[in-house]
Amino acid sequence: MDLPESLDGRRVSLRHRVGERDGRPLHSDAVGELTLGDDAVTVQTRRGPVRVRRDAVVAVRAVPPAVPRRPSWAVVARLEELCADAWPALVERRMGAWRLRAAGGYTARANTALALGDPGMPVPDALDAVRAFAASHGVPPRVTVPAGSPWDTAVGRAGWVLDAGHGAGAEVAVLVADLRTLAAARGGPWTVTAPETPDDDWWALGLHGARPTPTQAHVVAPQGVPTAFVLARDAGGAAVGQVRASVVEDHLHLSWLEVVPAARRRGLGTDLVAAAAAWGRGRGARFGVLQVALHNTGARALYASTGWTEHHRYRHLVPVR
């Protein structure tokens, strides 16, 4: 069968002969991305590649892209737990499958109740406990839930709403990547290092010249969590970009990506992430994970261009006052 070159690289449904029975041909179907070869074609299916001789192809047609599969809530919960371990709160208490966290108000991630399952009591009672915990540590009551999850629904039914006033972003995308497939460093007029202790320049860049408080140091540079403080310097030695990288189990967690305005759109962000990925692989990490606010379109575009894809989203919910 003559296969149109226009189908190369597209998702197709391909029927091909696989043998015969009682003098009648037997056929099989393969659905996936098509790669044309001289003597054979390959269909990359969800179960793996299917190679078919060209003369065995009976019919082929283009089909719409596959609908992405939503990860199970168990997988989402595990990833959220890893992210919480990589960005530890100053104070934490378990309440069933919920994690009550406080860090003096420094970042929403370290000052929320992370709801990932059964809190061990009725949800309204759990939310009362969240309020009490937050009040005792001087932070606003807030619950973080994977968007669309049963826990999102349960907290919403109890009257909690999106924290729309949260400046850093109340809705967040969680992105993942295979560290082996991330974009390689481009190189530029800078030097990138990945020390495991933050120096004064790293802190100054991230905190706009300020020194870290003890709480900030606990969250950003925790004891017991392997962490690299990746820093780029220009030819004059000035710090021009940074990212924080932590390894938890087989995942590399990235946060605090910062590039000074004068160095943007020159590939430095890609180089910082590539350096972090190389450090993480050396620490045994296989996959990457990071969180980015939905309204941060520039960062999301950078990550998409370097190999990151959305895994799920989460939302910050607060009580109606």
Residue 9 predicted with pLDDT over 90:
no
| Residue range of the domain that includes 124 | 73-168
Same domain, 183 and 292: yes
Same domain, 186 and 300: yes
pLDDT tens sequence across 72-85: 999 999 999 999 99
Q: What is the CATH number of the domain that holds 303?
A: 3.40.630.30
Same domain, 162 and 182: no
Q: Residue 135: what residue type? A: A
Lowest mean pLDDT among 44-48, 70-74, 199-203, 252-256: 44-48
Same domain, 243 and 199: yes
Same domain, 108 and 31: no
Same domain, 122 and 247: no
Same domain, 144 and 95: yes
Is position 107 within any domain? yes
Orientation of helix 150-157 relative to helix 123-136, angle to 10°: 80
Same domain, 275 and 193: yes
Same domain, 200 and 236: yes
Q: Using CA atoms, how far apart are residues 191 and 238, in angstroms rounded to an integer?
A: 10
What pLDDT score does 40 carry? Answer: 92
pLDDT, averaged across the chain: 94
Q: What is the CATH number of the domain that holds 45?
A: 2.30.30
Is position 320 within any domain? no
Same domain, 188 and 218: yes
Question: Of 125, 149, 168, which one is at a domain's C-terminal end?
Answer: 168
What pLDDT score does 1 carry? Answer: 77
Residue 68 predicted with pLDDT over 80:
no
Residue 69 predicted with pLDDT over 80:
no
Q: Using CA atoms, how far apart are residues 315 and 145, in angstroms rounded to an integer?
A: 6
Question: Of 168, 186, 202, which one is at a domain's C-terminal end?
Answer: 168
Question: Of 168, 198, 227, which one is at a domain's C-terminal end?
Answer: 168
Is position 321 within any domain? no
Phi, psi (5° rounding) for residue 253? -100, 125
Q: What is the mean predicted confidence (pLDDT) over 184-201? A: 95
Same domain, 245 and 281: yes
Same domain, 98 and 27: no
Number of domains in the chain: 3
Asked if residue 60 lies in contact with residue 7, where contact means CB atoms within 8 angstroms, the answer is yes
pLDDT tens sequence across 88-119: 999 999 999 999 999 999 999 999 999 999 99
pLDDT tens sequence across 126-148: 999 999 999 999 999 999 999 99
Split at pLDDT 50, 70, 90, the class of 38 is: confident
Is position 294 within any domain? yes
